[in-house]
Structure formats: structure tokens, C-alpha cells
Amino acid sequence: MNSSVALDVFFSRNNLRALAAPGLIIAILAMMVLPLPPFALDLFFTFNIALAVMVLLVAMYAQRPLDFSIFPTVLLVTTLLRLSLNVASTRVVLLQGHTGPDAAGKVIESFGHFLVGGNYTVGIVVFIILTVINFVVITKGAGRIAEVSARFTLDAMPGKQMAIDADLNAGLIGEDDARRRRKEVAQEADFYGAMDGASKFVRGDAVAGILILVINILGGLIVGILQHDMEAAQAAKNYTLLTIGDGLVAQIPALIISTAAGLVVTRVGDGEGDIGQQFIGQVFGNPPVMVLTAGILGVLGLIPGMPHFAFLLLAALIGSLAWWTFDRKRKLEPLVTAPVAPAQETLEASWADVAPVDVLGLEVGYRLIPLVDKGQDGELLKRIRGLRKKFAQEVGFLSAPVHIRDNLELKPNAYRLALKGVEAGVGEAYPGMFLAINPGRVSGTLNGAQTKDPAFGLPATWIDAGQRDQAHTMGYTVVDAGTVIATHLNHIILSHAAELLGRQETQQLLDHLAKDAPKLIEDLVPKLLPLATVQRVLQNLLEEGVSIRDMRTIIDVLAEYAPRNQDPLELTAQVRIALGRAIVQQLYPGSADMQVMALEPSLERLLGQAVQGSGGDASAIEPGLADTLLRETAAAAQRQEDVGLPAVLLVPGQLRWLLSRFLRRAWPALKVLANGEVPESKTIRVTTVIGAKT
């Protein structure tokens, strides 16, 4: 019983599939050692031809090179199969060649007689021509393309990885998509590298075919004349025809496999149909080109001495195809008719005419409509949904939906981002083109329309699809038109997160938290604090880029301090202290040291006196001192960022809110932390003292 179960498990479908490849390799190696009868040779040669045709068809129907990623291994296996068949057939030809032309099987006989007419001189010429085509033209070209593709793919890997990271950080893709795209980038580099090496197998096979041909002919003559007492002419005819048939039956599959390799490595595109569809669409899909071709053939056909029938027949066929293609395209074009607006009676104004202002709005020119059209599966719609989801996960609340509409007053490729009806950002995007953004360390310039990244103002260039790999290689971050708009929108949402948190969003956030902690929310709002105060505290946090995901901690702190203090600024300061570990972790991830800027002690005292005397109003700072403080802070922040450190200023708690609002005009990215917000586990290192005498 146990042995029966073991056999069933061993011969299960998965195990048999796993044993297929090792079994094939062992069979191929065995053919080099064990003698095969002519019938077995016929079967194996037929299988070799069928396998070559299958590989060619798979290569033609693959939409991307990675769809046939096993091809380098297939190339090695098929080459080894052909060589083993050459060895097996050579053994049979030399042992049995004296018996007649069918000594090595019917397949070799057919190739030796039918294809070359039984003339071994013609056979040798045809064999050499096929070998030269395979070795010099197809294999050498495919190998060169694979070599160049492997080099450029490896050079472009850093840029592609940066583009993936940029999409991930902008919320355009998830972690799983990013992991999959990184894997595809690595597989692409491995594939072209393997193809570069695998092409050497085919070139070696072509050289081996020529050597085997010469050796078989010489060996056959020696065996026939010396061992079987055959006449030289008869021995030359028998062994040469058998050798030619053997060589042709191996070289034709080799030529097919080499063609498949060339089709795979020369493929340009990313999942836009197979090779046949692209060939028909791009070569025979342009009626003006076909009309000109038909005209040229017609003129050549009218020249005296030319084969009139062939030229005029092809001219008529191509002209008919051009007319049919043009007529088909004309019928498929949508008929655009302007709708006639029905006459309507003028009605009295009503409250229905008062349209609410959209919290977030996106207006696009007419050429960008396909990006946001649900009927055309607009890619930008999916990215905006992913962007809102990522914002909710990272910031801590769900922003208002983005209301999208077309605006014919905009330029065709322009778009406008609006926040509560007010323009918050504008830009242009070109579908079908790519924006190559210069992150500051590129190795060259690109041909294209010079512009700036609309989200961050970095220098950029609009390029066509053919320059994308070159831009990656030079170190540019390359994104498509949809990504440009989505990144700009994401930047606007993050920059104005505090404005997006209205009274309604605050109530929805508390209702969501009340599902898990109803008593906590009930004791706070409205018993201890009104909803407006809670909203103001959360907005204060968001204005300085602090996430409100940890709402439980925020509510706990508010519930603790609300009975003693109702001031939103004081409550915000206490909440920031409780969130100090998260705030510092965001600025210094994975580091125990905090390299910060600080104020000179006498300057701290002077600012402290100004705060106490004015109740926290920045206008109480003496103008000369304010100007100096802004200038020195900006210079210190620039030095921090130049060495790769965040611009962080550490100050006493009573100065934090004042300086954060005041210094933001000098350096928007500056973060001002209070001493009490720094966890005890962190080591503080002061890199710059602002206000120190130099």
C-alpha cells in the first residue's frame, strides 16, 4: 500500500513535469554515445524541425521579450539537440553509407535528393549559403543587438528604479506593484545578458556544422574507398549526398531558431500587440505610402524591357489595398455633430442655481480628456484613486474627492488644479510623450521641449518614447503625462492638508474612531472641547507636516489637558510632545543622532522676552533683528540640505510656534522642534548656531 502511494506521488503531474527537462537533457547526451537506428533518427530530426517552428511562432506571438524569458535556455537546448543529432547521424552515415542513399533514414535522404535535386555540388553550395546567412547575418546581428541592449539596460537600471520609487512615493502605485516592477527591471537586464551569451551557442553551432560537413565527406571517402572497396565517384556521391542531407536537416532548424532569436531581441514595444499585428499595422496601415509604392511599380512596369505583368499586377494589388484601407478608416471615424440646444424658456432664479464650490478640482484641456475619461479607461482616474488612498493611510484622514471636468478655455494640453475654487497649480502635459526630470546629477542633455516639473520646479524636458531609455541611462527621472498630473495633484494635497480638514472631515474622523473607542470620543466632544477646537489642533499639526494617524494618542492628550486649558496652541504643543517620537522618526529615520541647528543663548533670551511682552506676536521682533534672523536661518538651512541633512531648528518650547510661523517664509522646508519633543533615546548634535558671532 505504501509503495503504491509512493509511486502515485512520484508519477503525479507536477513531478513528471519537473522530470521532463532533465529527461530531455539525458536523452540528448545519450544520442551522442548510443547508436540510433534510421527510424529513430527520422523521428528525432522531425521533432527538431517541429521544435524550431514552435519556438519561432512563440517568439512572434510574444508581446514583450520577457514573455519568452526562457528563450536563452531553449537556445542552448536546441543547439545541443542539433549537435547530438549530427553526432548520431554521422555514426550511421559512416557505418552504413555504402548501402545506399537511405542508409541514415528517410528524412536525410529527402533533404539530400529532393531539396538539392540529387546534385551534391548544388547541395554543398546551398548548405554554405544557409550557414553564411545564419552565421554572418542573423546570428551576428542578433548577438550585437543583445549585447548593446544588455549594456543599455544595465546603465538604465538606476533611472528606472528611481522612477519606480517616485511613483511609489507619489501614491501612484502600491508596494506590490513597485516590487513587481523592480523584479521586471532586474529580469530584463538578466534576459538581455543571457541572450548575449546564448547567441554564441548558435554561432558556434554554425562553425561546427561546416567542420562536421568537411569531416563527414572526407571520412566517408576514406571509409567507402578503403574499407568497402567502392569507386571514388560512387563513394563521393553516396557519402556527400548523405552528408549534405544531414547538414541541411540540421541547418534549416538552426536558421529558424536564429530568426526567432533575432525577432525576440529586436522587439520594440511594451505589450502593444504581437509582431504580426505591429507589422501589418505599421507597414500596411498607411494608405499614402502604399499609393506611392503602387505608382512607382506602375511606372517601372511601363518601361520597355521590364517584366510588365509582374510589376503592373503588384501595382494593382497594392493600390487596391491602399484604397480598401483608406475606405475602412474613413468609415470607422466617428461622426462628430454639434448638438442643437433646444430653446428653453427663461426660468426664475432659484437656490438650485447656487452651485457648491468643489474642495478639490481638476480642469483639463481637450487633449487630456482621454486621461480622465472613464469610457476610455483613463489611467489618471486610477492614479487619483490610489493617491487618495495613500494620503488617507499616511496623513490620517480621507480628503475630499477630486472633481474633474474639461475646460475649453484652457490650452489643449493644459490643466488647472483648484482648491476651494481658487487656482492652486497649473501645468501642461502631453499624452504619448514623457517628462524627463533632472534630479541634479544627470550626465547629458536631451533633445526636446525644455520646461520645469510643475510639482517641484525642477528643470525637465518633454521627450518622445524613443528617448526614454537614453534618458534613464543619463540619470533622468522619466514619467508619463498622467504621472506628471498625479504627482502635481499629490503635492498640492499634501501642501494644503490643513485646509482640506474641514469641520465635516473632522466629525467623520471622530465618528470613525468612535467605532473602536466610543467612550473616549464621548468624554471629549462636546463635554470637554468643542469640535472647532479639536479641528484647530489637528490643522495646526497638519500645517507643519505632522501626521494625525495616531488619533488615539491625540485624543488622550486633549482629554487630559482640556479641563485645564482650552487654548488650541497650548493643546497643540502638548500633543506634539506626545507625538515627539513619531515626529523625530519622520525627520531622522533609523538614526540615533539628530544633527540640528540651534539659536545662540543670548538670542534665545531676547526672543523669549519679545514673546512674553507681545503674547506670541512675531511683529514684536525688532525689524533689524527679524531680517538678520531670516537671512541667517536660510543660509544655515541651505548648508544642512547641501550635506544631505534635514533643515531642523531646535528651540525652547515657548519659542517653537512663533519661530515656526515666522521662519517659514525664509525656508518653507524648515522644521522647528521644541526641546521637549525630542525623545531621550536620541543624541543631539548641533551643527550650526544661528546668531553666533563670527
234 and 264 inside one domain: yes
Closest CA to 609 of 655, 648, 577: 655
pTM, rounded to two decimals = 0.57
Cell of 100: 545506399
Q: Which of 448, 475, 497 is the last residue of a domain?
A: 497
460 and 569 inside one domain: no
Residue 524 sits in a domain whose CATH number is: 1.10.8.540
pLDDT tens track for 604-615: 888 888 777 655
- Which position has the grid cell 498640492? 492
User: Secondary structure of the chain: what % helix, strand, coil (to 5)?
Assistant: 65, 10, 25
Measured CA distances, 406 to 391, 536, 580 (Å): 25, 35, 44
- Please say if the pLDDT value at position 195 is more than 90: no
- Please say if the pLDDT value at position 124 is more than 60: yes
Residue 646: is the preceding peptide bond cis (ω within 30°)? no
The whole-number pLDDT of residue 343 equals 46
pLDDT tens track for 545-561: 999 999 999 999 999 99
pLDDT mean across residues, the chain: 80
* pLDDT-based confidence at residue 396 (cuts at 50, 70, 90): very high
The whole-number pLDDT of residue 1 equals 46
Of 52-61, 191-200, 328-337, least confident by mean pLDDT is 328-337
Q: Which of 578, 610, 630 is the last residue of a domain?
A: 578
Q: Is 119 helix (H, G, I), strand (E, B) or coil?
A: coil
Average the pLDDT over 58-84 and give the result.
80
Residue 477 near residue 163, CB atoms below 8 Å: yes
- Which position has the grid cell 557505418? 95
Query: How far apart, in whole angstroms, are the C-alpha atoms of residue 543 and residue 496?
Result: 8
Query: How far apart, in whole angstroms, are the C-alpha atoms of residue 575 and residue 562?
Result: 11
457 and 475 inside one domain: yes
pLDDT tens track for 487-509: 999 999 999 999 999 999 999 99
Neighbours of 158 (CB within 10 A): 13
106 and 43 inside one domain: yes
227 and 314 inside one domain: no
Handedness of CA 459, 168, 502, 615 (dihedral sign): negative
Closest CA to 486 of 411, 385, 412: 385
Of 66-75, 190-199, 646-655, least confident by mean pLDDT is 190-199
242 and 150 inside one domain: yes
82 and 42 inside one domain: yes
- Please say if the pLDDT value at position 295 is more than 60: yes
- 403 Cβ contact partners less than 8 Å away, ≥ 6 residues apart: 358, 360, 361, 362
Long-range contacts of 315-321 (CB under 8 A, 24+ apart): 318/290, 318/293, 318/294, 319/290, 319/291, 319/294, 321/284, 321/290
Q: Do β-strands 402-406 and 360-364 pair in parallel, antiparallel, or remain unpaired?
A: parallel
490 and 368 inside one domain: yes
**Is residue 548 in a domain?**
yes
* pLDDT-based confidence at residue 7 (cuts at 50, 70, 90): very low
Of 77-81, 256-260, 338-342, least confident by mean pLDDT is 338-342
Query: How far apart, in whole angstroms, are the C-alpha atoms of residue 233 and residue 242?
Result: 14
More confident residue, 365 or 318: 365
Of 24-33, 468-477, 527-536, 548-557, least confident by mean pLDDT is 24-33
Q: Which of 446, 470, 497 is the last residue of a domain?
A: 497
**Is residue 2 in a domain?**
no
**Is residue 12 in a domain?**
no
**Is residue 341 in a domain?**
no
**Is residue 349 in a domain?**
no
Residue 676 sits in a domain whose CATH number is: 3.40.50.12790
The whole-number pLDDT of residue 307 equals 78
Residue type, 422: V
pLDDT tens track for 411-457: 999 999 999 989 999 999 999 899 999 988 888 889 989 999 999 88
Alpha helices (H) along 593-644: 601-614, 623-642
Average the pLDDT over 242-252 and give the result.
76
**Is residue 438 in a domain?**
yes
180 and 249 inside one domain: yes
222 and 141 inside one domain: yes
Neighbours of 16 (CB within 10 A): 11
Angle at 309 between CA 306 and CA 311, to 5 degrees: 65
**Is residue 386 in a domain?**
yes
- 175 Cβ contact partners less than 8 Å away, ≥ 6 residues apart: 168
Number of domains in the chain: 5
Query: How far apart, in whole angstroms, are the C-alpha atoms of residue 435 and residue 450?
Result: 10
424 and 401 inside one domain: yes
Side-chain half-sphere CA neighbours of 611 within 13 A:
16
The whole-number pLDDT of residue 14 equals 54
Cell of 336: 462628430
Q: What is the 8-class DSSP label of residue 115?
A: T
Per-residue 3-state assignment (H helix, E strand, C coil) for 44-89: HHHHHHHHHHHHHHHHHHCCCHHHHCCHHHHHHHHHHHHHHHHHHH
Closest CA to 579 of 611, 535, 537: 537
Closest CA to 547 of 503, 497, 512, 504: 497
Closest CA to 260 of 82, 81, 72: 72
225 and 311 inside one domain: no
Share of the chain above pLDDT 70, in %: 83
**Is residue 176 in a domain?**
yes
Domain that holds residue 99: 24-158+168-278
Radius of gyration of the chain (CA): 38
- 614 Cβ contact partners less than 8 Å away, ≥ 6 residues apart: 620
